Amino acid sequence: MTIHHKVVAITGASSGIGAATARHLASLGASVVLGARRTDRLDQLVAEIEADGGQAAAMRVDVTDPADLRSFVSLAVERFGRLDVLVGNAGIARIGSVADLDVEGWSAMVDVNIKGILHGIAAALPVFRRQGSGHLVTVVSTSGLKIVPTQAVYAGTKNAVRTLLEGLRQESTDGFLRTTSISPGYVRTELIDNAVDDPAVREQATRNMADLGIDATAVARAIAFAIDQPDDVEIGDLTIRPTRQG
């Protein structure tokens, strides 16, 4: 497998899809570099991976700070000699009608979901260009594929990233860069925990997650599939959702 010996940095790695991806890729022989704000969880995950014979490093990363992403990429290069893949997984959701005017929540989603990805790209692209190869794998959402009430702004941030990656792909056809958008549907993660203030909306979202949600490992396997392609093959978009999701 081409994953073996690759160096993969993952944001939002302290739980959910990020943590599942770290475990899965490490089990396939990748060296993983983990970033998130909850360092206690990162330290536990590094210890778990190393106990299983894998290689991992971690640092505190706030994706809204460009300097954090630069330090994160530098850690990968200093510890493992290179960076092959950046998985942009950190994201937040605020669910509610636009008429609720949650301006603070909108700004937070723009800062994390859009600017956070841009900060990662800005940190990784110079390294990828210097190496002559690199891969950006970015977790977006099926919320951007099927627009529904209460998710307008969240879906907008995810579609902005989808558009950004397609534009970057078209600018990078000299062969050194691959881009992949992963769109998960209902996945059992902590994303919904701080996403909703309205009790009725929160109850419905929690019920949908419990009823339909798939394990985060399913998304991790999809990310591994995209990474594992030959260097001249790019998996541009993958949608991973429960078979019963409408």
Distance, CA of 31 to CA of 49 (rounded, Å): 10
Distance, CA of 216 to CA of 206 (rounded, Å): 16
- Cβ pair 77, 87 in contact under 8 A: no
**Active-site annotation holder among 72, 128, 154, 186:** 154
**Active site (annotated) includes residue 186:** no
Q: Which amino acid is at 7?
A: V
Cα 244 to its chain centre, rounded Å, is 24
Torsion angle (degrees, nearest 10) of CA 223, 39, 59, 109? 60
Distance, CA of 174 to CA of 35 (rounded, Å): 29
Distance, CA of 32 to CA of 7 (rounded, Å): 6
Q: H or E element: which one contains 8?
A: strand 7-11
Q: Token pair of 102, please?
A: 């949650």
Q: Token pair of 191, please?
A: 């994303």
- Cβ pair 134, 86 in contact under 8 A: yes
Cα 99 to its chain centre, rounded Å, is 29
Specify the residue for token string 């627009």.
147
- Integer-rounded Cα Rg, in Å, for the chain is 17
Q: Mind telling me the catalytic residues?
A: 154
